[in-house]
Chains A and B, each alone.
Chain A
Amino acid sequence: MFTITKNNEIAHVTMNAAGPVNSWGLNAVIELRNMLDNVLADAEIKGVILSSAKKDWFVGADLKEIMATDDITGVMQMGRMLTDQFRRMETSGKMFVAAINGSALGGGYELALACHKRIALNNPQTRIGFPEVTIGLLPGAGGTQRFPRLVGIQASLPLMLEGKRLAVDKALGAKMIDAIAQTPEEMMDMATKAIREQFNAVQPWDVKGYKMPGGGIEHPDNVMFMAGVSGNVIKRTFGNYPAPIYIIRAVNEGLQLPFERALNKEQEYFETLLRSKESKNLIRTLFLHMGEAAKIPASLKEVETLPVQKIGILGAGMMGAGIAYVSILAGYDVVLKDRDKESAEKGKDYSRKLLDESISKGKSTREKADALLEKIKTTGNADDLSGCDLIIEAVFEDRALKAAVTKESEAVMNPKGVFASNTSTLPITGLAEASARPDNFIGLHFFSPVDKMQLVEIIRGKNTSDFAVKLCLEYVQKIKKTPIVVNDGRGFFTSRIFTTYLFEAFEMVAEGVSPALIENCGKMTGMATSPLAVADEVSLELIYKIMLQTEKDLGTAYNTPGAALIKKMVGELKRLGRKSGGGFYEYPEGGKKKLWKGLSELVKPAAEQPDAETVKQRLLYIQALEAAKCWEEGIVQKPADADLGSIFGWGFAPHTGGVLSYIDHVGLPAFLARAEEFATKYGERFTPCKKLREIKRVY
């Protein structure tokens, strides 16, 4: 993996792993050691230049290798060895120069930090940074110790805590690199020159009398800074994520120690994180499952699809407008149809607005933006849908209307094409009844705002073909979103589970639980939004209408106290939600929203309030239990889909790994026991389904 080419006093080391990327695994670490054995033993060599033969320079650790083993001690031995080799490099007396010709991330950038100089090629693809925190880890190969000592506490800590990946110019500004070279030749010249000019290769922190840039850890400014950073991490994460906490602690405590002892401290906390459930959850869902979801599943490999070029979008409201925008960005031609051209133009305005923002941020040019806008044809005439390979319907949630647009589209579109409905709740199989080609009828559920939300829920109706599913997967892939494929059912997967979160909060309000307690606990669970606030955003009126529609369709009434509360608030008191003047909250003009005072008159506050843990658990358990039912019913086919769908669809707490992973996070036996207890206290809805009794764990 490390090929040495000697050129007089300089060793050129080319990094070229057998796999697709250069990353740290046991083999790589051993090869690093072997390489160092060779170059350090050669007295003629004065310096070493490290560059990559891959697209990226070096991209961190091999997470698959880490996840595949339960042998944490083994992983830590590897980490220790890597740390020791880095230390050996920087104290060898030979000058090491990182010639960063591609991305240097995590353990890769830590390799660069163990070098005495870092020169990056001006490569627009290159990203430099510490993404460890995003998978629940800390920079564990000296990063938490070298980086602050290099650039100072206040300059370093935010970069490690936020996991930002910087382009080379930004990285130079952050002093993560020393210089930028314009060409590979210039990079090598600069590296060679650095070695020739350097007489004594030593790291600043190994020089006697070394003073930290920006002052040491006991400097009063830094003490205050550390306090503020600590408080803000807890404010932002509610303490749900151990990684940022241990990054702060590794820096704080490590900087009070001699360098070698500091490395030990970093290793100690790295192991703590490696053993944490949160890190496993994050790696599994956000890295491994995300990666899987981006690929077409093997079962569909043989299915042939159409090369989609022209997409019809019906309805130019917020969803239609957003879908049009992400589609043109991916290179599709779009026909945006509403009841007349004027209304469709309003939908196109959304793309105009977002592209203007891109231009003002310097991310696009007028020319490019205009070319993209050319791709949206607005119309009020169904004939313009002629030749569309994929039509996405985003009209009002009204069966008759949806049936009408289905018929009129199918009459003119590519007869081999796919018709998709962006309905969020109406079962696809029922909607497909209006279709002449139900096998090519499918659900394609986007989330609002479309340009920001990562998930697309693909719903397979009873008659939907593999062809239609694969065509949609390819489309979702091209617009760079994450798909999950689910089977048909009321509310499919995401809406069905999200609704339980809201209704559990409504039940608690109806029981007299303090709304402030519900909201604060909602935030503390790690959910993206607290339940009553998000219910107001969604609009209580919409929730009410869906409730009535469901009652009508199923012929059963919602008769829980929570449902009664919504009926009263919407039906009688006209508290319809945020856009209509207020719901659970009131929204004073120009002021901060406050919980609606009238609520305590509507429901008498209970004399005895539950503890925070109970409230938090009720809000999460109800979702996990319903998700398990979906798994049992085959609405979702694998936990990975449920987990991805929950995090990216409705902001389920990522540190748990997702809505089904949460059950493992709690531990299945404890989860079942607590759910039974809740079922007795709060109702049947907490009774665990059969599936949960049959398995040992979700993963």
Chain B
Amino acid sequence: MNAYIYDAIRTPRGKGKKDGSLHEVRPVSLLSGLLKEIPHRNGLSADKLEDVIMGCVTQVRDQSGDIAMAAAIDAGYPDSASAVTLNRFCGSGLEAVNQAAALVNSGQAGFAVAGGVESMSRNALGSDGAFTLIDPLMITSHRMIPQGVSADLIASKYGYSRADLDAFSAESHRRAAQAWTENRFAKGIVPVRDNNGKIILDRDETIRPETTVEKLAELKPSFEMQAKMAGFDSMALQRYPEVEELNYFHHAGNSSGIVDGAAAVLIGTKEAGEAAGIKPRARIRSFAVVGTEHVIMLTGPYPASQKALKHAGMTFADIDLFEVNEAFAVVPMLFMDQAGVSADRVNVNGGAIAMGHPLGATGAILLGTVLDELERTGKSTGLVTLCIGGGMGIATVIERV
């Protein structure tokens, strides 16, 4: 594929609440800060940037109305740059990368900037109405249940225990803390600054290095009450009657954190890079999206990865490092078991349980994370994958050049 990654940057992730550092920053500014940085740090004229493709899930209030366009204008991109905002739920950031890759690979553009943004402190999850999750038609005719209940359903069906999930989560924090201690994210992090250039946030805000399995064990399940009160417990079993009962194992500590953040990835053809005199860091080998059964919803990463690997003519054994989004602890755990991949190749610097999951941006963040780590360790191939609401999965395979 003639689609290369020239750069990948992100903001630090701020706690997605009113007391989070990034709550005062408008999402358009989170994104335009990165868009300015892309040409600046690569010594590239912004004239070369033909399209801006950004993921954003909750497109309401200050995230509505094609925020990618607003950010491109705010970043001072030339009039010739166009921009689109897309929503493939949690896969949006990676979907943006894949669409940019397809765009340049097909010869329709030389450079595009892909990524995403989500200020979850300012636009709460579901505040767009989240029609697909809660419309009576979807619930009564299609047994649609909330994602948290789906995560508990996976754990119940495949026999993951609360202790398994908590252990995975404590490890996510440990790895993230270690990565920060060793400055492993330094290359990709662009601090968020205020109007006067003062730093508002320069590191991920939700990591708790001190957390332990014992501490996590004290947390109460997050989805039990909702499941029981609204009948989602029974709906889950109606689709998966082999499961005797739901175990409510997921809680705030073993699910992804709610955060604010943005990411931007510079993607272009080989020729565009040569003409501009900049060097690519990696090539996009393949990508894929799949649909999966929507009640259990979050089992997409494995089939999406299989499909992407098939496109690339590769196998799981050919991949050095994986980033599997930690939407809920059970998601990467199931992926590892299904793909037969051990934990030392997956999310080696922690994941969304420790650092958070800014919905529209996460896919692009993970792409940068795996690229930085491949470079740091001198490895070659990486795969990024995410589960997606409504029963989908997305994956992208990259190789350093």
Interface residues of A, Cβ cutoff 8 Å to B: 218, 223-224, 226-236, 238-239, 245, 248-249, 252, 514-517, 519-521, 524, 594-595, 609, 612, 615
- Tell me, in angstroms, the Cα distance from A248 to B140 when the chains sit together: 9
Is the pair A236, B241 in contact by a Cβ cutoff of 8 Å?
Answer: no
17 additional A-B residue pairs with CB within 8 Å, beyond A226-B136, A231-B230: A228-B230, A230-B231, A231-B231, A231-B234, A234-B143, A234-B231, A235-B231, A235-B235, A245-B136, A249-B140, A252-B135, A252-B137, A516-B243, A516-B244, A520-B241, A520-B242, A524-B238
Is the pair B238, A238 in contact by a Cβ cutoff of 8 Å?
Answer: yes
- Asked if B129 is an interface residue, CB under 8 A from chain A, the answer is yes
Interface residues of B, Cβ cutoff 8 Å to A: 129, 133-137, 139-141, 143, 145, 229-235, 237-238, 241-245
B178 to chain A, nearest CB (A): 41
Nearest 4 CB-CB pairings of A with B: A235-B231, A231-B231, A520-B241, A235-B234
B75 to chain A, nearest CB (A): 34
List, in ascending order, chain B residues with CB within 8 A of A233's CB. 140, 231
B231 to chain A, nearest CB (A): 3
List, in ascending order, chain A residues with CB within 8 A of B137's CB. 249, 252
List, in ascending order, chain A residues with CB within 8 A of B242's CB. 514, 516-517, 520, 609
Q: Given that A226-B134, A239-B238 are known contacts, is A231 also in contact with B244, CB under 8 Å in the complex?
A: no
User: For residue B133, which residue of chain A has the nearest CB?
Assistant: A227
List, in ascending order, chain B residues with CB within 8 A of A516's CB. 241-244
User: For residue A233, which residue of chain B has the nearest CB?
Assistant: B140
- Tell me, in angstroms, the Cα distance from A249 to B136 when the chains sit together: 7
List, in ascending order, chain B residues with CB within 8 A of A249's CB. 136-137, 140
Is the pair A520, B238 in contact by a Cβ cutoff of 8 Å?
Answer: yes
Q: Given that A231-B230, A516-B243, A594-B244 are known contacts, is A252 also in contact with B238, CB under 8 Å in the complex?
A: no
List, in ascending order, chain A residues with CB within 8 A of B243's CB. 516, 520
List, in ascending order, chain A residues with CB within 8 A of B136's CB. 226-227, 229-230, 245, 248-249, 252
List, in ascending order, chain B residues with CB within 8 A of A230's CB. 136, 139-140, 231
Picked from A239, A519, A524, the residue with its CB within 8 Å of the CB of B140 is A239
User: For residue A524, which residue of chain B has the nearest CB?
Assistant: B238
Question: Could you list 19 examples of A-B contacts with CB < 8 Å?
Answer: A223-B129, A224-B134, A226-B136, A227-B136, A227-B139, A227-B230, A230-B136, A231-B235, A234-B139, A234-B143, A234-B235, A235-B231, A235-B233, A248-B140, A249-B140, A516-B241, A516-B242, A520-B238, A595-B244
A223 to chain B, nearest CB (A): 6
Picked from B135, B141, B143, B237, the residue with its CB within 8 Å of the CB of A520 is B237
List, in ascending order, chain A residues with CB within 8 A of B133's CB. 227
Is the pair B241, A521 in contact by a Cβ cutoff of 8 Å?
Answer: yes
Is the pair B231, A232 in contact by a Cβ cutoff of 8 Å?
Answer: yes
B358 to chain A, nearest CB (A): 23
List, in ascending order, chain B residues with CB within 8 A of A235's CB. 231, 233-235
- Tell me, in angstroms, the Cα distance from A232 to B242 when the chains sit together: 21
List, in ascending order, chain B residues with CB within 8 A of A223's CB. 129, 134
A685 to chain B, nearest CB (A): 23
User: For residue B140, which residue of chain A has the nearest CB?
Assistant: A245
List, in ascending order, chain A residues with CB within 8 A of B237's CB. 520
B205 to chain A, nearest CB (A): 28
- Tell me, in angstroms, the Cα distance from A562 to B133 when the chains sit together: 43
List, in ascending order, chain A residues with CB within 8 A of B141's CB. 245
A218, A230, A233, A595 — most chain B CB neighbours (10 Å): A230
Q: Given that A227-B134, A245-B141, A249-B136 are known contacts, is A524 also in contact with B231, CB under 8 Å in the complex?
A: no
A518 to chain B, nearest CB (A): 9
List, in ascending order, chain B residues with CB within 8 A of A226's CB. 134, 136
List, in ascending order, chain A residues with CB within 8 A of B233's CB. 235
Is the pair B140, A234 in contact by a Cβ cutoff of 8 Å?
Answer: yes
- Tell me, in angstroms, the Cα distance from A171 to B370 when the chains sit together: 64
List, in ascending order, chain A residues with CB within 8 A of B139's CB. 227, 230-231, 234
- Tell me, in angstroms, the Cα distance from A233 to B135 when the chains sit together: 14
Q: Given that A227-B230, A231-B231, A234-B143 are known contacts, is A524 also in contact with B134, CB under 8 Å in the complex?
A: no
List, in ascending order, chain B residues with CB within 8 A of A239's CB. 140, 143, 238
- Tell me, in angstroms, the Cα distance from A249 to B134 when the chains sit together: 13
A231, A517, A519, A609 — most chain B CB neighbours (10 Å): A231
- Tell me, in angstroms, the Cα distance from A233 to B234 when the chains sit together: 10
List, in ascending order, chain B residues with CB within 8 A of A594's CB. 244-245
- Tell me, in angstroms, the Cα distance from A228 to B244 when the chains sit together: 23
- Tell me, in angstroms, the Cα distance from A229 to B135 when the chains sit together: 11
Is the pair A232, B230 in contact by a Cβ cutoff of 8 Å?
Answer: yes
List, in ascending order, chain A residues with CB within 8 A of B129's CB. 218, 223
Picked from A228, A515, A521, the residue with its CB within 8 Å of the CB of B229 is A228
List, in ascending order, chain A residues with CB within 8 A of B234's CB. 231, 234-235, 238
- Tell me, in angstroms, the Cα distance from A229 to B137 when the chains sit together: 12
- Tell me, in angstroms, the Cα distance from A519 to B231 when the chains sit together: 18
- Tell me, in angstroms, the Cα distance from A238 to B230 when the chains sit together: 14
User: For residue A520, which residue of chain B has the nearest CB?
Assistant: B241
Is the pair B140, A612 in contact by a Cβ cutoff of 8 Å?
Answer: no
- Tell me, in angstroms, the Cα distance from A218 to B241 when the chains sit together: 34
A183 to chain B, nearest CB (A): 44
List, in ascending order, chain B residues with CB within 8 A of A236's CB. 231
User: For residue B139, which residue of chain A has the nearest CB?
Assistant: A230
A197 to chain B, nearest CB (A): 40
List, in ascending order, chain B residues with CB within 8 A of A245's CB. 136, 140-141
List, in ascending order, chain A residues with CB within 8 A of B235's CB. 231, 234-235
- Tell me, in angstroms, the Cα distance from A519 to B244 when the chains sit together: 8
B292 to chain A, nearest CB (A): 18
B271 to chain A, nearest CB (A): 50
- Tell me, in angstroms, the Cα distance from A234 to B133 when the chains sit together: 15
List, in ascending order, chain A residues with CB within 8 A of B232's CB. 231
A52 to chain B, nearest CB (A): 36
Picked from A218, A228, A514, A515, the residue with its CB within 8 Å of the CB of B231 is A228
User: For residue A227, which residue of chain B has the nearest CB?
Assistant: B134
List, in ascending order, chain A residues with CB within 8 A of B230's CB. 227-228, 231-232
User: For residue B129, which residue of chain A has the nearest CB?
Assistant: A223
User: For residue A521, which residue of chain B has the nearest CB?
Assistant: B241
User: For residue A248, which residue of chain B has the nearest CB?
Assistant: B136
- Tell me, in angstroms, the Cα distance from A214 to B227 when the chains sit together: 25
User: For residue A223, which residue of chain B has the nearest CB?
Assistant: B134
- Tell me, in angstroms, the Cα distance from A180 to B244 when the chains sit together: 51
- Tell me, in angstroms, the Cα distance from A223 to B243 when the chains sit together: 29
- Tell me, in angstroms, the Cα distance from A28 to B231 when the chains sit together: 41
User: For residue A516, which residue of chain B has the nearest CB?
Assistant: B244
Is the pair B238, A517 in contact by a Cβ cutoff of 8 Å?
Answer: no
List, in ascending order, chain A residues with CB within 8 A of B140's CB. 230, 233-234, 239, 245, 248-249
A606 to chain B, nearest CB (A): 12
- Tell me, in angstroms, the Cα distance from A609 to B229 when the chains sit together: 31
B137 to chain A, nearest CB (A): 6
- Tell me, in angstroms, the Cα distance from A609 to B243 when the chains sit together: 13
Is the pair B241, A517 in contact by a Cβ cutoff of 8 Å?
Answer: yes
- Tell me, in angstroms, the Cα distance from A516 to B232 when the chains sit together: 18
- Tell me, in angstroms, the Cα distance from A229 to B231 when the chains sit together: 8
User: For residue A251, which residue of chain B has the nearest CB?
Assistant: B136
A118 to chain B, nearest CB (A): 28
- Tell me, in angstroms, the Cα distance from A229 to B229 when the chains sit together: 9
- Tell me, in angstroms, the Cα distance from A455 to B243 when the chains sit together: 34
- Tell me, in angstroms, the Cα distance from A266 to B388 when the chains sit together: 35
List, in ascending order, chain A residues with CB within 8 A of B244's CB. 515-516, 519-520, 594-595
List, in ascending order, chain A residues with CB within 8 A of B241's CB. 516-517, 520-521, 524, 612, 615
A599 to chain B, nearest CB (A): 11
List, in ascending order, chain B residues with CB within 8 A of A227's CB. 133-136, 139, 230
User: For residue B244, which residue of chain A has the nearest CB?
Assistant: A516
User: For residue A218, which residue of chain B has the nearest CB?
Assistant: B129
User: For residue B141, which residue of chain A has the nearest CB?
Assistant: A245
